[in-house]
Amino acid sequence: MRVPHPMNRLVLTALFCLGLLALPSPAAQDEEQSEIERLNARRHALAQDTARAGQVDVEAAEALLADVDEYNSRFENGVEGFIVAAKILVMLDRIDQADAQYRVGILREPFRIFEGMEWASIHHESNPARTMSVLRELMAAAPDKRAYPLGLYGYLEATNPEQVDREFDQYLALDEATVAATGLVGAVGHTNPDRGIELGRRLLDTFPESDDVKMEYMRRLRQAARFKDAIDFIEEHGQHLLMDPGIGVMYSDCLYAEHRFDASIRHLIELQANDDQEANSNNLDRDMRLDLRPAILKSWKKEQAIRSSEVASGTNPRVTMTIDGRPVIIELYRDSAPVTVANFTALARDGFYEDTWFHNVAPGFMAQGGIPTDQAYPSYHGPGYSIVNEATEPGARDHFSGSIAMPRISADKSIGSQFYITHAPTMHLNGLNPVFGHVVEGLDVIRSLRGGERIDSIELTSGDVPEADFDILLPDGSGTTYRAWTSTSSGTSPSAP
């Protein structure tokens, strides 16, 4: 018995109809539709029963399969019945038979991407070669569907990147850029953002006039958190593409990441002129952003005033975080988050962060580090204690690009040593995690992190952070101070879990 795992559904659909079929009467169409809906409802119920019981009711599955086969004999030119049969056969672990049923159904219709990827996924573990064969067949059947090459080359990039390179070279030798070629670049970029940019650049150099290639290259720049490069590229080479629903939203996102909030919102307003129903998903993204983004204008104006005042007074200290030899200068908000700053600098002075790594990086969102050196990711360990969450205190700061904050981790939402630095404004985290500084120089270094990079050191380079004591909470629920904790035998090593 096999219960399909949703993560194995690679996500895509089918092909052009193979010939014209005689149209049935409206009454026959109603009969066909009603019957397949009943059969599909029985299949859904069987799947739910199987999930609850942990095994399939073979007798019930066989009976349903017989009814579906009888349906398919009467409506032999249909599609849905063959796909329903295939899903039942997968539950019965009859993969070869399921393969045949999927093939008949999916290759009759061009736009069943979900079921197409479902077809490929049934061989994911047992026969990877067949998975790739199915995806190639789907690519040939629907050459204008980007999802199939995304699925194929995402699979190949993880298992055989040399094959990806060989096929990419073949696409470069063609007379024009194909959907498969841009799909290859997109698939690689999702796995490896920097390699995606490299391949995108080569594709662009070969087909410099292709709008599809230009749009793909911009996607790769944005995916890699190279927001300014994406803005500069599309403004220089693709002005006429800015009203494309997808590219337009992406362009607005890049402006937003670079703190060009007015321009970001204005462009979203301009995109409202597009009412293309085929771009409904992009239009929903546009409208969601228009609902949320105006609020940041007031927040950013307030933040700029605070930063100007802090620079003029010189009250904020700065530290240099060196990551694999590359310096990043961070200004700390001593007055806005005094406990968080005192904790961070105390750990830095004690060498806690030396040789720790960035264990969680989401390009375009943030880079997170600060787990003890002896802990593997995922780990919710901190320095052996937690501190107060200052995110809700008066004067708490908001998240913008380059903000450094300490996340709430573990079941009790404690804050200890872990921190993250944002690639773009993350206003949804305001009031949840305490922001205690921002990157002054080296945001490009932070945005280039991909995970696994090491912190060489964190050193105070300007200003002053008094070695102020602060309260901490221990795992047993008792409270003490940082100085008292470090003076005890159990607390002499700040990296103790």
pLDDT digits (tens, 9 = 90+) for 262-320: 999 999 999 998 777 767 888 899 999 999 999 999 999 999 999 999 999 988 999 99
**Structural domain boundaries, residue 448:** 312-491
**Sequence letter at residue 236:** E
10 occurs within a structural domain? yes
pTM of the full structure: 0.82
- Cα gap 224→423, rounded to integer Å: 10
Backbone φ and ψ for 319, nearest 5 degrees, come out as -120, 155
**Sequence letter at residue 364:** G
Residue 489's DSSP bridge partners are none
pLDDT number for residue 465: 74
40 occurs within a structural domain? yes
132 occurs within a structural domain? no
- Cα gap 44→57, rounded to integer Å: 13
Q: Give the chain's domain count.
A: 2
- Cα gap 433→148, rounded to integer Å: 40
Rounded to whole angstroms, what are the CA distances from 290 to 233, 248, 270, 380? 24, 13, 11, 36
479 occurs within a structural domain? yes
pLDDT digits (tens, 9 = 90+) for 428-437: 999 999 999 9
**Sequence letter at residue 60:** A
Residue ending a domain, among 67, 89, 123, is 123
186 occurs within a structural domain? no
379 occurs within a structural domain? yes
Distance of CA 310 to the CA centre of its chain: 35
Distance of CA 35 to the CA centre of its chain: 40
Q: Find the CATH number of the domain harbouring 479.
A: 2.40.100.10
Positions of the chain with pLDDT lower than 70, given as ranges: 1-29, 110, 278, 376-381, 410-413, 466, 489-497
Is the N-terminal amide bond of 378 cis, ω within 30° of 0?
A: yes
pLDDT number for residue 413: 65
pLDDT number for residue 76: 87
84 occurs within a structural domain? yes
pLDDT number for residue 274: 78
- Cα gap 354→322, rounded to integer Å: 10
155 occurs within a structural domain? no
H-state helical runs in 333-410: 338-349
- Cα gap 58→54, rounded to integer Å: 12
Q: What angle do CA 339, 341, 344 make, to 5 degrees?
A: 110
Q: Are 78 and 102 in contact (CB under 8 A)?
A: no
Question: Where is 68: in which H helix or E strand?
Answer: helix 58-74
Residue ending a domain, among 105, 123, 141, is 123
H-state helical runs in 207-319: 211-223, 227-237, 245-257, 261-271, 280-292, 294-313
Residue ending a domain, among 85, 105, 123, is 123
Question: Where is 367: in which H helix or E strand?
Answer: strand 366-369
